Amino acid sequence: MAKRLVDLRAEAVEELVKINNIKDLDSWKIRFLGKKSKLAQILHSLAKLPIEERREVGAQANKVKMALESSLAEKRNTLQEASLLSSLQQDKLDVTLPGRPVSSGHIHPITQTLEEISDILRNMGFQIVEGPDVEWDYYNFEALNIPQWHPARDMFASLWIDTSGKDSRLLRTHTSPTQIRVMEKTRPPIRVIAPGRVYRYEATDATHESMFYQIEGLAIDKNVTMANLKDTLFELCYSLFGKEIRIRFRCDYFPFVEPGVEVAIECLSCHGSGCRICNYSGWLEILGAGMVHPDVLRRANINPDIYSGFAFGLGIERIPMLRYGVDDIRLFYRNDLRFLQQF
Ligand code: DAH
């Protein structure tokens, strides 16, 4: 019996040395220390031995049991430490590495300009409204004194959606149709601005895009005069380009206003002496305007004998182009971050 115990211990230790994972260790435990192990059998059979022998073998068996248990615990510790170490090495995280920068978005230069102009005009009491991009022939042309046969239609190379006479639809060529929509729905006093996209059927180049932005303005009340128009537009130009800017205010023709005017500012790049940017004229045209034509008012059921009004339409892209020296309008719509991040 004593010899069996010695062999058993030797066998168990020999096996234990070979083990290199927890799973095998668990089966080792069952095999050598479990309820059905040889050691358990020996302990069980002690009862049948004579008392002297029982004491001796019992003590020895317990010693073996304790020795195996402590070897087991030691081995378990070693295995756990090894596995922790290897997982630490595998998932190594270098906390001294610099973090990845989080890039923050910002407002598109065209939107910035739209917001700036809207703010200036809002402070003068204008309310912001919007009209649809897909417009009826009636609002884009007819109601603005541009009937089918009118040569002014040639001013606007239009993108038609369907052409069935009076019910034709197109992508609006300017923001002016919003004037009519407002006049139909509201009674004077009216003071609105309408920012938005407009579309032209045009080959694109450095100064032309088939889609661009305008802001339309409209003010109607009793006793609105050309002086009010001039003052509003001059204030707008001073706020945008500074108090020192020279402004040219002169006659122009648009079918929906009478009289019509055109506003130009002194060229920001040559200050009037003439350069490539201003086409050697010294001036940059930035907007069209005028006193709302009595026929336009009448068509919207506003009595021109009682009310008068002014309107203006301003292109947006030109302003950041002049300010920042952008020489190609198409850059604004290419979505190239290297360009956009500069603003
Ligand atoms: N709608 C015109 C255009 O796109 C600009 C314009 C001129 C608007 C005169 C107006 C105006 O409101 O009174 O060319």
**What order do you get walking across the sheet with 308-315 strand by strand?**
127-128, 190-199, 211-221, 308-315, 283-292, 257-266, 247-252
Tell me, using a 6 A CB cutoff, whether residue 216 lines ligand 1: yes
Phi, psi of 161 (to 5 degrees): -100, -45
> Distance from CA of residue 340 to its chain's centroid?
12
| Tally: H helices and E strands in the chain | 11, 10
Closest protein CA for atom 13 of ligand 1: 289
Report yes or no: 320 and 109 within 8 Å, Cβ to Cβ: yes
- Intra-chain end-to-end CA distance of the chain, in Å: 93
Q: Which pLDDT value is given to residue 43?
A: 82
Q: Which pLDDT value is given to residue 48?
A: 86
Q: Which pLDDT value is given to residue 233?
A: 97
Q: What is the fold of 109-340?
A: BirA Bifunctional Protein; domain 2 (3.30.930)
Report yes or no: 284 and 322 within 8 Å, Cβ to Cβ: yes
- Helix, strand, coil percent content, the chain, rounded in steps of 5: 45, 20, 35
Q: Which atom of ligand 1 is nearest to the CA of 173?
A: 4
Q: Nearest to residue 179, comparing CAs of 198, 197, 192?
A: 192
Give the residue ranges of the chain where pLDDT is below 70: none
Q: Nearest to residue 171, comparing CAs of 215, 140, 205, 145?
A: 140
Tell me, using a 6 A CB cutoff, whether residue 318 lines ligand 1: no
Tell me, using a 6 A CB cutoff, whether residue 212 lines ligand 1: no
SS3 311: strand
| DSSP per-residue string spanning 161-206 | EE--GGG-EEE-SSSTHHHHHHHHH-PSSEEEEEEEEEE-----BT
**If you measure from the C-alpha of residue 323 to the centroid of ligand 1, how many angstroms do you get, rounded to a whole number?**
22
**What order do you get walking across the sheet with 159-162 strand by strand?**
134-136, 169-171, 159-162
Tell me, using a 6 A CB cutoff, whether residue 174 lines ligand 1: yes
Q: Which pLDDT value is given to residue 117?
A: 97
Q: Which pLDDT value is given to residue 286?
A: 93
